[in-house]
A = this chain, B = another copy of it.
Amino acid sequence: MSVIYQKVALIGLGLIASSMAHAMRAGGLAGEIVGHAKSAETRATALEIGLCDRVYATAAEAVQGADLVVLAVPVGAMAAIAEEIAPHLAPGCTVTDVGSVKQAVIAAVQPHIPAGVEFIPGHPMAGTEYSGPRSGFATLYKGRWWLLTPFETTAPAAMVRLRALLEAMGAKVDTMDAAHHDQVLAVVSHTPHLIAYTMVGLAAHMEQVSNSEVIQYSASGFRDFTRIAASDPTMWRDVFLTNKEAVLEILGRFTEELFVLQRAIRMGDGDHLHEYFTRTRAIRRGIIEAGQDTSAPDFGRGPVAEKL
């Protein structure tokens, strides 16, 4: 493999950035990897386990001379970071981010980007329920989608180079409009996460069923929900606050749909339930055919753990 960027600056050193560091090292894709994290402990860990060649106490120092800057902080922290690094970005540098929402990140970052620097918003659809600098690993992005939402004005050469890096890390790259991205993600990720959080939170304060019973007998359904609901709280707070409109719209439709099923249960309308449950099977088949999951049954033993 060959070096694609001479100096990559990772701003934020959690699961996503540390997995990028491992993948770039494994593929020899970066001449040098430097990093910044707010926490001194995280910076020390990043040096200790070799994520970064150098770490800096400020993002402004980290980005100097970098030809790729990756903003891998919670969405709510993007604006302040963009403002801080803007005067220090090298001409010709590409800035990308890994936020799970795109319109809010663009609104926070793009105004600060100086002329001669390309900002290409991105979203790696990969993760686990773990976070922090020790949670990363080189194959996180293998076979996973990495969505980019470039602007009409984005230089083709910058796109080609960034795409080459992401593909060299194993990702499948696709591009889409930022607004559409946020709608798609509200359906396939954000709203399901909120629902899982709700179900798990509810179970924690039942009177009739003890917490220990919920834990002991947690089965499919609930156990899968807890895996989803163990994702990073700060990241998910920011997702819901910044993709508010799309999530609220899907939530409204979800509640409406749930009420129809709830009424069918109350009225004993078995035909309605059976017909509904039959339709949802077709979607599952589509997902397996699209290679987004395997068809092998493993009976709830292999954990599914991912955040977006």
Contacts and interface: CB of A to CB of B under 8 A. Distances in A.
B240 A251 contact: no
A254 B201 CA distance: 9
Contacts of A191: 199, 221
Main DSSP-derived SS at the A contact region: helix
A251 B262 contact: yes
Interface string A173-212: 0000000100111011111111111111111101011010
Nearest to A230: B284
A232 to B, nearest CB: 8
Nearest to A269: B241
Contacts of A230: 280-281, 284-285
- Counting contact residues on chain A (CB < 8 A from B), the size range is 35 or more
Given A187-B206, A270-B237, A224 B279 contact: no
Contacts of A300: 293, 304-306
A128 interface: yes
Contacts of A220: 127, 189, 228, 304-308
Given A247-B265, A270-B237, A221 B228 contact: yes
Nearest to A196: B221
30 contacts: A127-B220, A128-B297, A140-B299, A183-B209, A184-B213, A184-B217, A185-B217, A188-B219, A188-B221, A189-B220, A189-B222, A201-B257, A204-B283, A215-B292, A220-B307, A220-B308, A223-B287, A229-B280, A231-B277, A237-B270, A237-B274, A237-B277, A241-B265, A293-B303, A298-B302, A298-B303, A298-B304, A300-B306, A301-B304, A304-B304
